[in-house]
């Protein structure tokens, strides 16, 4: 029996089997969604201070290139403004799968107890593998099974190792709404007021500092009729005296 042909056939058969096992690996995935909402309080660089709906104030550091969808538009951290309402949805995917690793080894058949084969590695240690059912080997151009392996045959084979593994991945998306614009202040239109016409009066004359003379007392009105006891004699005497004085005055003027 040609040992070289058997070795090559065994190596190729195990390699093909390992590839088939890798393709048939089963992965079971579970997803969990977490939703968080809050209002932006302050933004400084990539640091975002958010007041959560629960009342808690939290500080987030956005990764470079992070974006959010606000009112249907894609914005960056630099576009965030205080008052914006943000909702972050985190989807965590947990995958349970069986990881198959392959490695190529060289060894010598020590014992065959189909479907188990004990072989010796390069360090002189014996190891046992199980050859799956249906595995075919080409020996001297003919299809053979594990039962055709004999002690002492040297071979090169690919060993497949299976191990369970849990892979956790997460994706995040942030959406939000800008704060509503402030309501415009509409000033009440005053009713039409007719203009008021003011007439300016002249300023009063300044008061004089000198004291004004007291007005003379009003003369008593003359009686309409003389009393019954009155006579024209005093009047006639007064007239005579006046004429006498006038005549004396004229005489004096002539002498002078």
For the segment 167-225, what is each residue's pLDDT rounded down to a tens digit?
Answer: 888 888 889 888 877 777 665 656 565 655 555 566 566 555 554 445 555 555 555 55
pLDDT level of residue 17 (50, 70, 90 thresholds): very low
What does the pLDDT read at residue 18?
45
pLDDT on residue 19: 46
Query: Residue 165: is its pLDDT beyond 70?
Result: yes
Say what the pLDDT of residue 5 is.
Answer: 45
Is there a contact between 83 and 179 (Cβ–Cβ < 8 Å)?
yes
Query: For the domain bounded by 33-96+169-177, which CATH number is listed?
Result: 2.40.50
Residues in CB range of 209: below 8 A, 6 or more apart: none
Give buried/exposed letters for 80-91 (b at 16+ CB in 10 A, else e): beeebbbbbeee
Selected residue with higher pLDDT from 90 and 242? 90
For the chain, where do the domains classified as CATH 2.40.50 start and end?
Answer: 33-96+169-177
The predicted pLDDT at position 74 comes to: 92
Residue scoring higher pLDDT (115 or 185): 115
pTM of the entire predicted model? 0.41
130 and 166 Cβ atoms separated by less than 8 Å: no
pLDDT of residue 133: 75
Residue-level pLDDT at 166: 86
User: How high is the pLDDT of residue 16?
Assistant: 46
pLDDT at 20: 47
Q: Answer yes or no: is pLDDT of 132 > 60.
A: yes
Share the mean pLDDT of the chain.
74
In the chain, what percentage of residues exceed pLDDT 90?
A: 13
pLDDT computed for residue 50 by the predictor: 94
pLDDT one-digit tens code per residue, 37-76: 999 999 999 899 999 999 999 998 988 888 989 988 999 9
Amino acid 49: pLDDT = 94
User: Three-state DSSP class for 50?
Assistant: strand
Q: Determine whether 124 is exposed, middle or buried from the number of CB atoms within 10 Å of its CB (0-12, 13-18, 19+).
A: exposed
Give the span between the Cα atoms of 194 and 28, in whole angstroms: 86
């Amino acid at each position: 029996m040609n040992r070289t042909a058997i070795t090559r056939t065994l190596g190729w058969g195990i390699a093909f089997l390992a590839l088939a096992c890798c393709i048939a690996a089963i992965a079971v995935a579970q997803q969990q969604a977490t939703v968080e909402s809050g209002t932006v309080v302050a933004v400084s660089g990539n640091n975002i201070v958010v007041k959560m709906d629960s009342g808690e104030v939290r500080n987030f550091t956005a990764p470079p290139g992070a974006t959010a969808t606000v009112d249907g538009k894609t914005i960056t951290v630099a576009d965030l403004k205080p008052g914006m309402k943000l909702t972050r949805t985190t989807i965590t995917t947990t995958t349970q799968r069986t990881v198959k690793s392959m490695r190529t080894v060289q060894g010598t058949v020590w014992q065959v107890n189909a479907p188990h084969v004990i072989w010796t590695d390069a360090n002189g240690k014996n190891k046992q593998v199980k050859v799956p059912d249906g595995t075919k080997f080409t020996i001297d151009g003919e299809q053979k099974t594990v039962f055709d392996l004999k002690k002492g045959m040297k071979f090169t084979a690919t060993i497949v190792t299976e191990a369970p593994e849990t892979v956790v991945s997460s994706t995040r998306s942030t959406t939000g709404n800008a704060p509503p614009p402030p309501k415009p202040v509409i000033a009440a239109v005053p009713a039409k007021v007719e203009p008021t016409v003011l007439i300016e009066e002249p300023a009063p004359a300044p008061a004089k500092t000198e004291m004004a003379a007291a007005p003379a007392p009003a003369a008593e009105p003359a009686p309409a009729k003389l009393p019954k006891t009155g006579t024209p004699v005093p009047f006639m005497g007064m007239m005579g005296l006046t004429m006498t004085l006038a005549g004396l005055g004229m005489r004096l003027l002539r002498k002078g």
